[in-house]
Amino acid sequence: MSSTLVSNMKYSDSLTVVGISICTAIVCEAISWLLIYRTSSYKSLKSTIDKASKKLETMKTTDPNTATTIKKSKTKKIDRVESSLKESSRDLSMFKFKSGGVVALVLFMVFGLLNSLFEGKAVAKIPFVPIKLVQKMSHRGLSGDDMTDCSMAFLYFLCSISIRTNLQKFLGFSPPRGAAGAGLFPMPDPKSN
């Protein structure tokens, strides 16, 4: 009865996209764990970054009673810790980049599969008209002028960001906060893509 209900829904294909995205996210994180997260190199780099960023925070806390001469030497120490942090972050990125190729291949193949299944088909309805920039993705490959029709690409994009970011967070695989590049909008760990 439930399968009849689902198949009667006009946009039941959206559930297929979400289901495949969830499975892909799990597979990608499993591959990342195998190739990246369980290695001693990754663990030691992450620990180094955590320690350095915490040390940097402590050193940057200003003390009004500190003499000027002491502040100058402190500035030099801060610079040293900062460059060490940048170097460790760069090493971490390089390390993940080398191992992330397999995950990138899986994502590419899954996107290709979804594209072949749903090309030219609206898989969902957006409850508002997106801005022009977003329409390039949300209306990708769709015919007609109804900009509230949602393409597979846009739905897959939303699934990837939300599911993978939260899965990484839940499993503790998010990049350390002190790492360079953890900016305003932290994406799912890009080097795992």
Partner 1 sequence: MRERKSVKFNLQKQEHQNGHLSPFKVAKLFDPDATWDKDQLGDVLHWIRQSLALVCGLLWGAIPLVGGIWFILFFLLSSGIIYAYYALVLKIDEEDFGGHGALLQEGLFASISLFLLTWILVYSLGHF
Q: Does 9 bind partner 1 (CB under 8 A)?
A: yes
Least distance (Å) between residue 69 CB and partner 1: 26
Q: Does 25 bind partner 1 (CB under 8 A)?
A: no
Which residue in the set 23, 38, 47, 79 belongs to the binding site for partner 1 (CB under 8 A)? Answer: 47
Q: CA–CA separation, 120 vs 114, rounded Å? A: 11
The contacts of residue 45 (CB under 8 Å, 6+ apart) are: 88, 91, 92, 95
Q: Which amino acid is at 72?
A: K
The Cα diameter of the chain in Å comes to 78
Q: Does 64 bind partner 1 (CB under 8 A)?
A: no
Q: Name residues contacting partner 1, limited to 126-165 (CB under 8 A).
A: 126-129, 150, 155, 158-159, 161-162, 165
The residue range among 12-20, 79-87, 90-98, 101-109 that interacts with partner 1, by the rule CB under 8 A, is: 12-20
What's phi and psi for 10, nearest 5 deg? -65, -35
Q: Name residues contacting partner 1, limited to 158-187 (CB under 8 A).
A: 158-159, 161-162, 165-166, 169, 172, 177, 184-187
Q: Which amino acid is at 64?
A: P
- DSSP string for residues in 70-115: HHHHHHHHHHHHHHHHHHHHHHHHHHHHHHTHHHHHHHHHHHHHHH
Q: Does 31 bind partner 1 (CB under 8 A)?
A: no
How long is the chain? Answer: 193
Number of residues that bind partner 1 (CB under 8 A): 32
Which residues contact partner 1 (rule: CB under 8 A)?
Answer: 9-12, 14-15, 18, 43-44, 47, 57, 124-129, 150, 155, 158-159, 161-162, 165-166, 169, 172, 177, 184-187
